[in-house]
Amino acid sequence: MITSTAWRGKRYAVLGLARSGAATVDALSAAGASVVAWDSNEAARLLILSRRERGTSEAGGGVFSTGDIARGEYPSVSLRLPPPPPGEDLIVADPLKIDLTGFDAVVISPGVPLNTHPIAAHAAAAGVPVIGDIELFAQARAELPPHKVVGITGTNGKSTTTALIHHICETAGIPARLGGNIGLPILGQDPLPDGGVYVLELSSYQIDLTRSLDCDVAVLLNITPDHLDRYDGFEAYAASKARLFAMQTPGHAAVIGIGDAPSAAIARDLTTSGRSEHLSKIAPGACMDQARWPALQGPHNAQNALAAIAACEALGIDQAAIDVGLETFTGLPHRMERVATKRGVLFVNDSKATNADSTTPALSAYPRVHWILGGLAKTDSLEACRPGFGHIVKAYTIGDAGERFAALLEGEMPVERSGTLEAAVKSAAAQAQPGETVLLSPACASFDQFKDYEARGQAFRDAVAALA
């Protein structure tokens, strides 16, 4: 794991004990820090206790419901925790119910909404910074073998671009680690040897919790409205993305897609501040031959590839290695994943497309599409998908939004109300002709019929595998 001597003897509260939180507790404890850990999920608390080799204490317990949070109903803070007893480095306690005076930081999961959760005000009252595990990684960098960091953000395309850069690095023989909002928690991974590259996917939430991550290469793909429940308007969301570049040393590289106004404005600001020499701008609609990149089809993947190429060039990787990496990249599960070809029909799993904006690129990537869509809708509109309507042979609607979406699409294209994913796959497979594509790109969340988008994607794979 990645640790730092700078944490030794300090006190931290860790809120949220899923994968990154658990890795954070382990890293801080291994470094000799004292940790107060908490998760409202009792199973997560028990799991973190079971991972410890030494004794633990519990204080200040209490689980609060969503309603409690919304109403601001928390007990008054009255508990001052003493340092852990000798030989113990972990106390399980709710940081909202203890006095945080003297703590060095509260480390929270990116899933904790800073704009509504009371931990932000509680920490501020004690003069304690609120950070995330990426900030701890940034603090630990000085003690790691010489390395570089690539940070990738944007509303759409982050995961594909991050995985592609990581793949190109490995293809070029450069040791690399994948982390941040993808893969394993970065603090839980072994440090890279001299010359390695850490490739980090960074959500706006993670950037909000980071103060000192100086990326050798910072990449911004795009900014479109998203997560506005966490921000005071779209401008605040865009400003969060811009902070990735504000944390950089001026001589470090920046790669920015300028296909939308907020991203273009960030690029202009960097140019105005004298950073144009190390700035690569990715213009929309660039014409590229993607025929040799089977996992990188569609105009959106052309932009992802251009951003990855610019980032890898900034790392000093030669063009021949970049070309091999682009050709051998297999893509990510549930993101325009090529599942099978049967009777000349291609089946593509794009279950990760949980809103209309993220479905549009997939519709545009294939010339004749049998489109499976529906689920738990985030909006009543499919207007963002209209650029791809001309590619659709027929639509098959499923799930909670099935009837609503069928009504929206009738008159635009042939529509079948399939109801379930399995029925849609069977029907689309029976009607599709050689050269056409059966595409699951739901433009919806999955929670009406599935545990998550991954379970939905696996159900699509299973249905395709079951076809005669």
Residue 420 pLDDT > 80 = yes
Residues contacting residue 40 through CB under 8 Å, at least 6 positions apart:
63, 64
The CATH number given to 337-465 is 3.90.190.20
Cα–Cα distance, 303 to 155 (Å, whole number)? 13
Residue 446 pLDDT > 70 = yes
Q: Is 257 exposed, middle or buried (0-12, 13-18, 19+ CB in 10 A)?
A: buried
Average pLDDT over residues 241-264: 97
Give the global pTM: 0.82
- Determine the pLDDT at residue 298: 82
Task: Kindly report, residue by residue over 120-141, the tens digit of the pLDDT.
Answer: 999 999 999 999 999 999 999 9
Single-letter code of the amino acid located at 286: A
- DSSP annotation of 76 reads P
Residue 70 pLDDT > 80 = no
Query: First and final CA of the chain: distance in angstroms?
Result: 47
User: Which of 156, 181, 222, 304 is an active site residue?
Assistant: 181
Task: Kindly report, residue by residue over 75-88, the tens digit of the pLDDT.
Answer: 333 344 445 444 55
User: Which of 227, 278, 342, 378 is an active site residue?
Assistant: 227
- Determine the pLDDT at residue 185: 95
Domain ranges of the chain: 5-131, 141-328, 337-465
User: Which of 97, 147, 158, 391 is an active site residue?
Assistant: 158
Cα–Cα distance, 413 to 407 (Å, whole number)? 11
pLDDT classification of 331: cutoffs 50, 70, 90: confident
- Determine the pLDDT at residue 232: 87
6-20, 41-55, 254-268: range with lowest mean pLDDT: 41-55
Single-letter code of the amino acid located at 452: D
146-155, 169-178, 316-325, 356-365: range with lowest mean pLDDT: 356-365
- Determine the pLDDT at residue 88: 54
pLDDT classification of 55: cutoffs 50, 70, 90: very low
- Determine the pLDDT at residue 69: 29
- Determine the pLDDT at residue 468: 84
pLDDT classification of 156: cutoffs 50, 70, 90: confident
Q: What are phi and psi of 65, to 5 degrees?
A: -85, 170
pLDDT classification of 457: cutoffs 50, 70, 90: very high
Active site annotation includes 227: yes
Cα torsion for 131, 132, 133, 135, to the nearest 10°? -50
Give domain 141-328's CATH superfamily: Mur-like, catalytic domain (3.40.1190.10)
- Determine the pLDDT at residue 379: 86
Active site annotation includes 300: no
Active site annotation includes 394: no
Average pLDDT over residues 383-408: 97
Task: Kindly report, residue by residue over 241-250, the tens digit of the pLDDT.
Answer: 999 999 999 9
Mean pLDDT over all residues of the chain? 90
- Determine the pLDDT at residue 287: 65
- Determine the pLDDT at residue 72: 34
Average pLDDT over residues 399-422: 98
CATH fold for domain 5-131: Rossmann fold (3.40.50)
Task: Kindly report, residue by residue over 204-237, the tens digit of the pLDDT.
Answer: 999 999 999 999 999 999 998 777 778 889 999 9
